[in-house]
Structure formats: C-alpha cells, structure tokens
A and B are shown apart, each in its own frame.
Chain A
C-alpha cells in the first residue's frame, strides 16, 4: 500500500514539474494557414526545464517561435528551445514567445478546444487542451 502511495505521489510530482496555465490558441481569418498558441509555463522544480518542441494534430507543423522588435521591424524567428529557469514563470504571449501552427488543416473557431503537447528536452511531454480565442473580443 505504501508502495502504491509512493508511486502516486511520485507521479504527481513528476507531472507537476511544469504547470501550464491560461493556454489559448488564436482564432485567425479563414484564409490564414498559420496560428499561434500562448500560455504561462511555471517551473516548480530546482532545475531548468527546456522545451524543445510541440505537437498537435491541427496543423501540418508545430514549431517554437519568437518575435522581437529590432529597429522598428517586427521579426519572427523559429527558435530551438524555450528555457524555463528553476522556480520561474515564462510567458508565451503576443509579440513574444509562442507555439506556432503552420499549415492549419481546418479553420480555428472560438468555442473549440484542441490538444497540444509540449516536448521537454528530457523526453517528458506536457499535454494541454487549449481553447481557441478570437482576438476580436479578447485583446491580450
């Protein structure tokens, strides 16, 4: 019995090493084949957590991207990883870090939710269900 409790507690700690909150996917115009997901990532551990990718069935490809403003130009680039330092929160937000969906298979509509997984460098996956939000009503 103690063994089972220990396993459950361990699993819980393991699953909670990275807490994802307020995830959402942006609704985009029907002609647009790309979208983005935003969320907060909280590292509850004493070690850095590195996100090296993401997976979802809603698009042909899912990548990690970042936006920067350089000399008045908005520049979006693919990045290899997102580092979440120990005991820290990193926010994926508009005009900054985001999960990028490229080649959407279907239109994204507010009211729907979609599965998304974040892949950590250590091989762990964090599964998320993210609602679609329209920018027309929700400005972030």
Chain B
C-alpha cells in the first residue's frame, strides 16, 4: 500500500513538473528513424492523439480506421492543420519504426510513435490513459495490453480540449476539430 502511494506521489510530481503552461501537457516520444518528438512539434496544428498497441488486431485497427474516416471528412483547407498521432503503449514489443508504419497503413499522413517505459508512463498519465500488461499464460501471444480507447483532441497551443470514445466519433467531433483548426 505504501509502495503504491509512493509511486502515485512520484507520478504526481512528474505530472506537475511537465506542465509547461496551464493545461498544456508535454510529452517526449520516438517516431521512425529514431526521431524524438514532443508536443511542441505539433504546435500550430490540432493534434488527434490515440493510444493503443501495434499487435492489437481489433480495437486499434477499428479505432484508427474510424479516425481516418473522420479526418477524410475534414474540409481541404482544414486538413493540413490537423495531425493524427498513434502512440503505442507496448514499449516492450513495438519499435518506433513499426509503430509509424502501423499508423501510416491507415493514412499516409498519420504519425506513429512509442517510447521508453518511463516516457509511456508519463504520456499516458498526462492524458488519463489507462493501460495494463496482462500475461496470457496459455496463449502464443504471451501477453496482451488492456487499454482505454479514446481520441484526445489537442488545440494548436498544445492544450487538451476534449476526448471522445473511439466508438463515438461523429459529426460533433468533426465540428470541434474544424473549430479548433480555424482558431489562431
């Protein structure tokens, strides 16, 4: 119990220290060709953030496909102002390169990234993403990753504005994205 409390307090300290400004939650991850990316790289764009894992055969492909359908509906002048980033929480199995390729399968403009255990723990904590490695004793998979499935919408200044369940992406989501994209 005490150990859990200490871990929680450590995360809270990290959480507070990484707020660069009010509501802005920075992160550091690695994408293809070992390029480091942070939230700052996306300033000036509306960032659509989704957390999953690249060996996920069902929920993640469905969610990324739905996100793709959504961004395809964006007006042509809005599209360049919106970036989708898929983050793999499976830092044990997924490489930055594989995660990027996984994301680009759904849309060539999507980005994919992952990180070290610490980087993933920090990034998921910031956005309230829950994930858990679960051993599958009799399965060839060896383990799976339980995870929440939300699309996080971040404004041009890096502030988290809202989140939608990946099952509930609709015209309202589209309106929010377009509204944020047209703001200065």
Interface residues, chain A, with chain B CB atoms under 8 Å away: 26, 28-36, 60-61, 63, 67, 72-78, 94-95, 98, 100-103, 135-136, 139
Contact = CB atoms under 8 A, between A and B. Distances in A.
Q: Which of A77, A101, A103, A136 has the most CB of B within 10 A?
A: A136
B69 A139 contact: yes
A74 B66 CA distance: 17
A125 to B, nearest CB: 20
B170 interface: no
Contacts of A34: 55-57, 141
Contact of A28 (B59, B61, B69, B98): B61
B65 A74 contact: no
A98 B140 contact: no
B134 A75 contact: yes
Contacts of B105: 28-31
B144 interface: yes
B147 A74 contact: yes
B68 A78 contact: no
Interface residues of B, number: 30
Interface string B93-114: 0000010011001100000000
Given A77-B136, A102-B139, A135-B62, 19 more contacts: A26-B57, A29-B54, A29-B101, A29-B105, A30-B101, A31-B102, A32-B55, A32-B102, A34-B57, A63-B141, A72-B130, A73-B148, A94-B58, A94-B62, A95-B58, A98-B57, A102-B141, A136-B65, A136-B68
Nearest to B107: A136
B136 A78 contact: yes
B19 interface: no
Interface string B22-62: 00000000000000000000000000000000111111011
Nearest to A140: B62
Given A36-B57, A74-B146, A135-B62, A103 B140 contact: yes
A29 to B, nearest CB: 3
A80 B101 CA distance: 33
A108 to B, nearest CB: 10
B132 interface: yes
A103 B140 CA distance: 8
B65 A98 contact: no
A130 B58 CA distance: 17
B138 interface: yes
A85 B67 CA distance: 37
B84 interface: no
A67 to B, nearest CB: 6
A78 B61 contact: no
Given A75-B146, A78-B138, A102-B140, A32 B54 contact: yes
A115 B118 CA distance: 43
Given A31-B102, A135-B65, A67 B58 contact: yes
